[in-house]
Chain A
Amino acid sequence: MGYCLDQAGFNQILNEWSKEYFVYAPKLFKDGGSFSDTDRIRYGEIHTVEEIVFDRKSDYSYKEILLPLSQTLFFFTDDMVKEADLPKKGAVILLRSCDLHAVKRLDEIYLQNGCEDYYYKRLRDRVKFILIGCQHSFENCFCVDMGTNRIDNYDAYIEMKNGEIYVDNHNDVWKPLFTTYSRRTPEVIPAYATENKTHIHIPDGITPDIAHSKIWDEYDSRCINCGRCNFVCPTCTCFTMQDIFYVDNGKVGERRRVWASCMVDGFTDVAGGGCYRKKNGQRMRFKVLHKVYDYKKRNGYHMCVGCGRCDDICPEYISFSNSINKLDAAIKEVSINAVK
């Protein structure tokens, strides 16, 4: 059901929601960029609609709410363990179509890939999603080619137009709220990007032989293995564990899980001093093929959702979409070599 609200009306709803939820949206962090006098757009708690950044892509995704960068799972001392408390409230997350498609990937990994992940599930169960419309594509987006530009399994859809907020609500629990605070009830159809400037083509004939292609070699020197591409990615789900003992009292400690990156040193280190992917080109190969090849073999659809954040943030101007587009040539290269 569609609603049109003024900003004050929507802020009333945010206020009502705040009793039960933290509301997260892309917002501007002044001076939060890497360089001086630059800002950052990333997810943070919002209290008013004015705080939401509608006209730019967030540098980092919504992922950090479901999967905190550093999450304490439990505390331990002697023979006792105490689980870390859950956040006091659930979460409402405002996100774009690509990101909502990415939630499916997170769920796949944490809920369907073997046993359910307890720590993910208890956060996930209390989350509602509000889709932000995309009136146009942003730089480096390739959602259209990935088929992630549209989605309809949202709790609500939101769009800002001429200072008014248009909502399509799918959540019956919220119906009275929207009815109370809306001015009109027009039909609201989600806006979505129908065209991107960036195009990708994922070839069908990828085989494991592609690992032997020379296309990966250039990344040995171009890539600096900083991991930004992984950290901004809405579908990267890898983590590592930290068991630490407090400095002041070594008998007490905590277990945390923190994001890990397949580009950063240490990711493939194993006992005995081995390291499976030493070169940055090998790491790039692993990442690219995981996003557009082997994840699909297991789950039936590609992992990458085409948000383009990895391209946006790479300090070395390495384009992930361009690396996908090199796969065709790589297939030919390795098949010719195989014939030889």
Chain B
Amino acid sequence: MDVNTKKMKKNAFRVTKHRGFTASRIRVPGGYLEAKYLGMIQNIAETYGNGIVNITTRQGFEIPGIKFADMPKVNELIQPIIEGLDINQEVLGQGYTASGTRNVTACVGNNVCPYACYNTSLFAKKIEKAIFPNDLYFKVALTGCPNDCAKVRMHDFGIMGMTLPQYDKERCVNCGACVKACTKKSVSALATVNCKVVRDAHKCIGCGECVLNCPTGAWTRSHEKYFRLTIFGRTGKKNPRLGEDFIKWADEASIIKIICNTYDYVKNYIDPLAPGGKEHIGYIVDRTGFEEFKKWALKDVQFPANAEINTPIYWKGIKY
């Protein structure tokens, strides 16, 4: 058997422990898909796989037990899923053309969740469109609010929804619900002064608890959607660590630009001898220094007026 494993992996087929058998990896940006695709996935698993579908940790499907020889047929069956999920595909009909950059994951977001500050699925799709078919090892995740159910701080780029609370003191009756919620569930950014509420803008993390708990609509959400961008969290062997805050009150455009800029930075600085051409971005930043990364990352980025840039960044984590 003569198979180019490098090409095969790039085509989103895994080299498994069972010789001659692969697993097809279907990525679902933002974990959001129409139910009709589940039937197609079932069909692939039952026709060419071993009848099993694994729900991956990155909101994709992995279909194991596929013979190497059947990969072209699987790619044919995957085609409507790729098109339906609007995946960037360089060559039509031949499956995924990149798999190094991992599926952009997201919590359920404001399609369903009351806490979410934005539509995580839509933004995940926008990022997917902007960064694929890049093949570099990037992990991006989105979460609707600072609860961080999507665990975005364990990703290279973590995007956390925020709203800038708007206070109409004429509608405030001093019931205390916002102050209580902020103190007990969030960061104690609210205080009562003269029977009205004062927000500490520096402390506020934009979680929206004040809005959610206000019974009169004195607190409302900003029309603009804002985000906290955390960078270079990672799991792995050497130095697992949580991502640190980079930008507070970023917008969609600035985040997409920063991620795209980082691809240029990585192409320039990645260790040419990195095994499998794969190196966590954070280790590259450890090598070049944060300032060099920042120079590349912020090139031509336009931030909202209230954006705060956290610099320099020092990471913690466990060092082995």
Contacts and interface: CB of A to CB of B under 8 A. Distances in A.
**A and B physically associate:** yes
Interface stretch (B94-102, B124-132, B163-171, B270-278): B163-171
Interface string A33-76: 01111001010000000000000000110000000111000000
A247 B220 CA distance: 25
Interface stretch (B146-154, B173-181, B254-262): B173-181
Contact of A36 (B116, B171, B176): B116
Nearest to B223: A31
A70 B169 contact: yes
A264 interface: yes
B174 A60 contact: no
B220 A32 contact: yes
Nearest to A36: B110
Interface residues of A, number: 32
A244 B118 CA distance: 38
Nearest to A226: B215
Interface in B42-66: none
B217 A40 contact: yes
A34 B172 contact: no
A247 B172 CA distance: 18
Q: What class of interface size applies to chain B in its complex with A?
A: 20 to 34
Interface stretch (A4-12, A130-138, A255-263): A255-263
A69 B171 contact: yes
Contact of B215 (A68, A70, A227): A227
A242 interface: yes
A226 B177 contact: yes
Contact of B194 (A29, A31, A246, A261): A246
Contacts of A231: 173, 215-216
A36 B175 contact: no
Nearest to A228: B215
A265 B223 contact: no
Contacts of A258: 172-174, 195
Contact of A259 (B117, B173, B194): B173
Given A30-B223, A31-B221, A247-B193, A260 B215 contact: no
B173 A36 contact: no
Contacts of A30: 223
A37 B193 contact: no
Main secondary structure of the interface of B (DSSP, over half): loop
Main secondary structure of the interface of A (DSSP, over half): loop
Nearest to A259: B173
Nearest to B175: A264
Contacts of A242: 174, 194-195
Given A36-B116, A37-B119, A231-B216, A260 B173 contact: yes
Given A36-B116, A36-B208, A70 B175 contact: no
Nearest to A64: B171
A234 to B, nearest CB: 14
Contacts of B220: 29, 31-32, 40
B124 to A, nearest CB: 16
Contacts of A245: 194
B211 interface: yes
A261 B194 CA distance: 19
A34 B174 contact: no
Given A60-B216, A227-B215, 6 more contacts: A31-B223, A34-B114, A35-B116, A231-B215, A231-B216, A244-B195
6 contacts: A31-B222, A31-B223, A69-B171, A227-B177, A231-B173, A245-B194
Task: Report, nearest first, the 7 A-B pairs whose CB atoms are least far apart.
Answer: A244-B194, A242-B195, A228-B215, A36-B110, A258-B173, A259-B173, A226-B215
Interface of A: 29-32, 34-37, 40, 42, 59-60, 68-70, 226-228, 231, 242, 244-247, 256, 258-261, 264-266
